[in-house]
Structure formats: structure tokens, C-alpha cells
Amino acid sequence: MKFRFTKMRLSLSLAGILITAFILLLRATSSVPVTVHTKALTAAAPNSYDVVVIGSEIQGVLLAREARALGLNVLILDPRSKPGGELVQAQMFFLDDVNDNKHKSLVQGEIKRLFKKYKAGKIRKTADFQAYYDKISTGIPIKSGIVIDSLNTLSGTNNKTLKSMTFHTKDEASLTIQSKYWVENTDFSALTGRLGCRRIPGMESLYKGKQPHYMAATYMLKFRKVDWKKLHKTVLKHYPLTNVRKKYGPNTYVDKRFATGFSYITKNYTSLDKQLSLRGLNAFHQKNGQVIINGLLLYDVNPSDPKSVHSAITKARIEAPGILAFLRKNMPGFARAELNGFPEYLYIRDYNRYETEYVLDYPDVMGSRMFWDNVSIGGYAIDLQGTSVMPKGIDFGKPDRYGLPLRSFELKSYTNVLVVGKNVGAAIKAYGSARIMPTTALAAQTIGIILGHEKNKLLMELNENDFKRIHNYLKKDYKIILQQ
């Protein structure tokens, strides 16, 4: 008996030596790293997750962060070549605040920390925003540059279930993964655009257009050697604000860090390309004369088409020197300004969105409706930027606080597909308010928390009584208040 045991141990040792030698041989003859998993010698373990997020916009990162903190196995698959999305790659550093009609901030959750540091001047430069993004995404596996090959869905009596996804990257073979939940978090419907769902009518519905139209994208403009003090002092000379706005245009305002408006100046700029337009400015003083401006609109950009994105960025960079020359001549404090580099990507406001279990509508927003399954609170003005058909855009008023229900983030007819960020289920007028980053960021974080806490139920099974309990622990443990 002792002899047999020793012999078996010798056999296992010999097998281990042979396996190790085989692995070393593979490594020596291949430039691709070889990773051996514990169960690889018997049967390949399934690539299964609790939550897979498609896209690396900050909203999906917040969802994944909370789910992971509560023990779920999460993965972010990003079709873009680098993570960071709007905040990092597009350098959309002019952060829109959200307030109710009593001027009380509605920014809650993790994103409130970003806003607090932003307003205090502690987060201003590109490196500051990158560091914040890196901090909240720490520990979350992110794979960039993925291409979706196929999706496997299972049809039920009333709903479908997305069971698995096959994808590849430029340097890796196709891989099939499974997940309990899938989250659309791109700005071009990389996942939901493949699921055969009904599109929510967009900007074209406002003027009975026959083809889909989208709000213009923006290319952020970066400057240095701006005399911000001169800009501030020049505008202050015309106070009160009623006089300032008579001279410079509606919504014109300047303080030590922010400037908005000046549409009476920018309307005199003539672009080189008819697909570009310089609207009123949203400017942010990053420090030491470095300023970044949200103001250059680009029409008819298709974010799902890399050629369209590349073409738009190229046009914007060609346009930038002309805008610089115009601002140096016409804008206080810009006489000696210079260009200060370019972002790698565009700020995309609007693309195809698909029906959710509840589509938030204009009466909900303007009527301050609260829902039993609130996951966020909104209050931003209904701001719809222009299209190539309607270049100037349109404003439909400023709502007070209103709720955004979980159902507006659950893709209709699917048991396990969620949408976050700019994919929120909202009719176009309501979308003009609901799309704002802190509103959708709060919703995404809240959904991540709920996924982690409610492991034994599908989200679609949660009822009103469940949400009374959910809202209680959100308030107690996370300081997130979602009911009046």
C-alpha cells in the first residue's frame, strides 16, 4: 500500500514536470504570453460574470465599481482603443451642475466628490481628471479595443435573455463569455444597436424629419496664455447681469473659474466648413492661463463609424486656428492666446437610444414626477443642441426636481440588459434634461448598488415594497436620497 502511494506520487510529479516543460516550450517558441488556469488541465472553465459593461464611460465604471465592491464578478469591455470616454478622451471638463428651482444642488453619490473638488479648484488639469478616473476604476478589469462578433439570445414567453457574447481584439482570438447582466455604456449603442429593439424617436421628431437626426457633437478647444483676470474684469465693468447680457448675449456670466455665453460675439464667426458652428461658449479656467472651451459644434457625426469620427476631429483641428484668431481679435483676455493641444475624441451628446420598460417623457420632467423605483433625481434645463437641419438648437424650459425610474434603464423585452449614461430611455424633450452626466452617473451608481444587494432577484422582479427597503439603505448607507 505504501509502495503504491509512493509510485502514484512519483507519477504525478513526472506528469507535473512534463506539463511544466511543455509550457516552457510554448513560451520559448511564442511571443504570446501563456496563462495556465487551475482547471485548464481537465476542462476549460466557463468565462462567466455577474455584470459585463460595454464601454468605459464614467457612468458604467461607477456601476461596475459598486457591484464589484459588493462581491459581484464584473468586467468592462470597451470598443474604443483607450478607456475614459467623454470625461478623459474627449476632455469634457466643463461639468454641468444640476439644481432644482430653489437652486439646491441635486448632485449626489460618488460624482458629488468629483464636483466638490472641481468647484474647489483641486481638479482642473487633464492629469487631475485622469487620476480621478483611474482611482474609481481601480481593480475593475477593462479590456479595450474589443469588437463584438456575435450575441446569443434565448427567447422566453414574454422576454428575451442575452446569454452570451463572442468578441475579439486586434491581437487576440475570439472569446465567448456569459453574464447574468449586460450593460450598454457606449455613446454609439455598440450593444443595444444589435438587439433588434425599437429606436426612440430623436431630434427629427421635433420637425417631422424622415431620417434620424442627432444633436451636434462638440470638439473641446484648448488654449493657453489667456488673461482670465482681464476677461473677468472687462465683464464686471458692465454689471449688473442684465447689462452684461445685453452686451454679450443671453446667459453670459464670468467668475474666477467659469465663463458662459458671449453668443453676440461668436455669432459673427464664419466657419470654414458648413458642418461646423461656433455657438456660445462654456469656458473653464484650468489654471495659469490655460482654458478649455465647449463651443465648437460638429453636425451629422456618426459615432458608430470610425471614419466619421476621424473626419470630424480632422475638420475641428483644421478649424481651430481660425477660431483662435477670431477670439484673439474679439474676446477680452484672448489677445495673446495660443492653442494648447487637442483632445483625442469627441463629446457625443446624442445617438440611437432604444425603448426601455418606461420611457421618461416631457410631462414627467416638467411635472416633477417621482417614481416608486427612482434611481436618480434630475433637474437640469431641457437643453437640445442643434442639428444640421436646426443649427441653433432649442430650449424647452427648466424643470424642478424629478425622478428617473429604474425602468428607464431596463431595455424593453430583455430580462437582463441595462442601459446607462446617454442611453437612458427618455423621449427627446425629456432627454434634453435627463442626459446630463451627474444625473445619469447617480443612476448608474445606484443600479450598481442594487445589483450587489439584490442578488437573489432579477431587477425586473423588484416591486414597490422592495424599493421602499432599497431607498432606505441607499439613504442610510450611501447618503443617496431618491424620494421627496
Give which of 475, 473, 472, 451 is closest to 462, Cα–Cα: 451
Query: Confidence band (pLDDT; 50, 70, 90) for 157?
Result: confident
Q: Is 90 exceeded by the pLDDT of residue 141?
A: yes
User: Mean pLDDT throughout 381-390?
Assistant: 95
Strand ranges for 250-356 from DSSP E = 253-254, 258-261, 276-287, 290-298, 338-339
Element (H, E) at 235: helix 228-236
Element (H, E) at 166: strand 160-169
CA distance 118 to 107: 13
Give which of 456, 461, 477, 366 is closest to 406, Cα–Cα: 461
pLDDT at 46: 65
CA distance 234 to 333: 9
Query: Identity (one letter) of the amino acid at 244?
Result: V
Backbone angles phi, psi at 134, to 5 degrees: -60, -35
pLDDT digits 0-9 by tens, 192-243: 999 999 999 999 999 989 999 999 999 999 999 999 999 999 999 999 999 9
3-state secondary structure of 414: strand
Q: Please tell me the pTM assigned to this model.
A: 0.89
CA distance 104 to 395: 21
Q: Is 70 exceeded by the pLDDT of residue 328?
A: yes
Q: What is the mean pLDDT of the chain?
A: 91
**Partner residues linked to 237 by β-bridges:** none
Is residue 280 within 8 A of residue 261, CB to CB? The reply is yes
pLDDT digits 0-9 by tens, 175-197: 999 999 999 999 999 999 999 99
CA distance 373 to 183: 19
Bigger pLDDT: 393 vs 482: 482
Backbone angles phi, psi at 379, to 5 degrees: -175, 10
User: Mean pLDDT throughout 308-337?
Assistant: 98
Cα angle 414-420-422, degrees, rounded to a multiple of 5: 120
pLDDT digits 0-9 by tens, 44-82: 446 999 999 999 999 999 999 999 999 999 999 999 999
CA distance 353 to 436: 15
Give which of 436, 119, 116, 86 is closest to 285, Cα–Cα: 119
CA distance 394 to 466: 39
Give which of 299, 355, 80 is closest to 190, Cα–Cα: 80
Kindly state the cell numbers that stand for 442.
Answer: 447617480
- Cis check for the bond before 240: say yes or no (omega within 30 of 0): yes
Q: Is 50 exceeded by the pLDDT of residue 25?
A: no
User: Mean pLDDT throughout 30-45?
Assistant: 34
Quick one: CATH architecture of 51-203+354-478? Answer: 3-Layer(bba) Sandwich (3.50)
Contacts with 89 (C-beta within 8 Å, 6 or more apart), sequence order: 80, 82, 343, 344, 345
User: Mean pLDDT throughout 305-310?
Assistant: 97
Is residue 46 within 8 A of residue 176, CB to CB? The reply is no
pLDDT at 158: 87
Contacts with 44 (C-beta within 8 Å, 6 or more apart), sequence order: none
For the ranges 20-24, 226-230, 410-414, the lowest mean pLDDT is seen at: 20-24
* Domain locations in the chain as residue ranges: 1-45, 51-203+354-478, 217-339
Contacts with 462 (C-beta within 8 Å, 6 or more apart), sequence order: 373, 406, 450, 454, 470
Q: How does DSSP classify residue 437?
A: H
What's the distance, Cα to Cα, between the start and end of the chain in Å? 75
pLDDT at 318: 98
Residue indicated by cell numbers 461658449: 281
Dihedral sign of CA atoms 178, 184, 189, 190 in order: negative
